[in-house]
Amino acid sequence: MKFSIFQVSRKGGRKVNEDRMGYCYTRKSGIFLLADGMGGHPQGEVAAQLALQTIAALYQKEAKPEIADVGAFLNTAVMLAHHRILHYSTEKGLPDAPRTTIVAALVQDGCVSWIHCGDSRFYLVRQGELLVRTRDHSFLEQRRSAGGSVIAAERRINRNVLFTCLGSPIKPVVDVKGPLALQMGDRLMLCSDGLWGSLNDADIVYHLTHKPVLQAVPDLVEKALRQGGKNSDNVTCIALEWETPDGFESTLGGDSAFTVSEGAFASTFQADATGAALEELNDAAIERSIAEINESIRRIAANKS
């Protein structure tokens, strides 16, 4: 199994980044996850974190090194995550349960299967064409697929209103799709609505097609944040390029391509729920850093003499 992968999550104009992402893999199978904790309910980031941890834990238990029944696994894992969130909410005596979306893609035997609940999306781009895109569980998308007048609907219906998610008292609605055979060069992407809300599909397909994922992902995220302006939603994106099982060196983004070796198990999930937002350096911070470094240099020099 060989693939290149890159993931980025950045805070928009919101107080907290409630998006969570990550992936883990064995030598024969890999799962990629993204959850977007919902605002308007308490502790969305906790719901997102719990969902990812629950699914990742189940995956680590069952991927030995493959998942026996992928469809059943995805269903079970998402339901388990839902119950884990409800359990957390009763345990803590919260008046309202925290909620989150989820999207997961599982790759094994050269095929991908995916599941989603809510409006976090899965994209599969092949040779410049959008092959797969999940349909959001939103009222807007529901209207669209029913053939209703989209333009009128877009004006009335807020795209952010979902009819299902994890953590709500109603049993979540999920869509499981696949398995779909992968071809070399296929781009798989999971993203939060912060990304697709600001960029259109053509734009997303263009970036994924024309750049290695390690450039496409940061570029897409940056673009979405800029389009979103100062009230931008948080933007999270994880994308991978499927490469041939083995045999030759990747020509794209060689530094992030890796082959999974025997018995290896890796995971990017961390136990704690801190979504350390990456703060950028501004001019004042740069000056401060330089001053600190020069102060250290002077001190050391003074000690020497």
Partner 1 sequence: MSKVRPAPLPPDTVIGGYRIVRKVAAGGFGVVYLAQDAQGLQVAIKEYLPSSLVARPAGELLPQIAPEKLSLYRLGLKSFFEEGRSLAQISHPSVVSVMNFFRENETVYMVMNYLEGASLQDFIITARDLKQPKVFRESTIHSLFDEILRGLRIVHQHKMLHLDIKPANIFITDDNKAVLIDFGAAREVLSKEGNFVRPMYTPGFAAPEMYRRNAAMGPWTDIYAIGACIYACMQGYPPNDAPQRLEKDRIAIALARLRGIYSDNLIEVVEWCMSLDPLSRPQSVFALQKELSRPGARRYTKLTVGEKVRLQLDTMIADTKKTIHKTPDVGKQLK
Contact positions toward partner 1, by CB under 8 A?
A: 7-9, 212, 215, 218-219, 222-223, 226, 252-256, 258-259, 261-264, 266-268, 270, 276, 278, 280-281, 286-287, 289-290, 292-294, 296-297, 300, 303-304
Work out how close the CB of 213 gets to partner 1 at its nearest, in angstroms, rounded to a whole number: 12
Identify which of residues 149 and 259 has a Cβ nearer to partner 1 in the complex.
Answer: 259
Beta bridge partners of 25: 30, 266
Work out how close the CB of 127 gets to partner 1 at its nearest, in angstroms, rounded to a whole number: 19
The alpha carbons of the chain give a radius of gyration, in whole angstroms, of 21
Identify which of residues 146 and 284 has a Cβ nearer to partner 1 in the complex.
Answer: 284
What would the two tokens of residue 59 be? 């995956």
Place of tokens 């939103």: 138
Could you give the C-alpha distances from 10 to 14, 197, 223, 245, in angstroms and in order?
10, 15, 12, 32
Work out how close the CB of 99 gets to partner 1 at its nearest, in angstroms, rounded to a whole number: 25
| Helix and strand numbers, DSSP H then E, in the chain | 8, 12
Contacting residues for 163 by C-beta, under 8 A, at least 6 apart:
137, 138, 139, 142, 173
Work out how close the CB of 226 gets to partner 1 at its nearest, in angstroms, rounded to a whole number: 8
Identify which of residues 19 and 141 has a Cβ nearer to partner 1 in the complex.
Answer: 19
Side chain identity at residue 47, one-letter code: A
Identify which of residues 127 and 296 has a Cβ nearer to partner 1 in the complex.
Answer: 296
Q: Are strands 19-25 and 266-267 parallel, antiparallel or unpaired?
A: antiparallel
Identify which of residues 69 and 292 has a Cβ nearer to partner 1 in the complex.
Answer: 292
Identify which of residues 25 and 114 has a Cβ nearer to partner 1 in the complex.
Answer: 25
Work out how close the CB of 173 gets to partner 1 at its nearest, in angstroms, rounded to a whole number: 31
Place of tokens 């240099």: 297
Work out how close the CB of 253 gets to partner 1 at its nearest, in angstroms, rounded to a whole number: 7
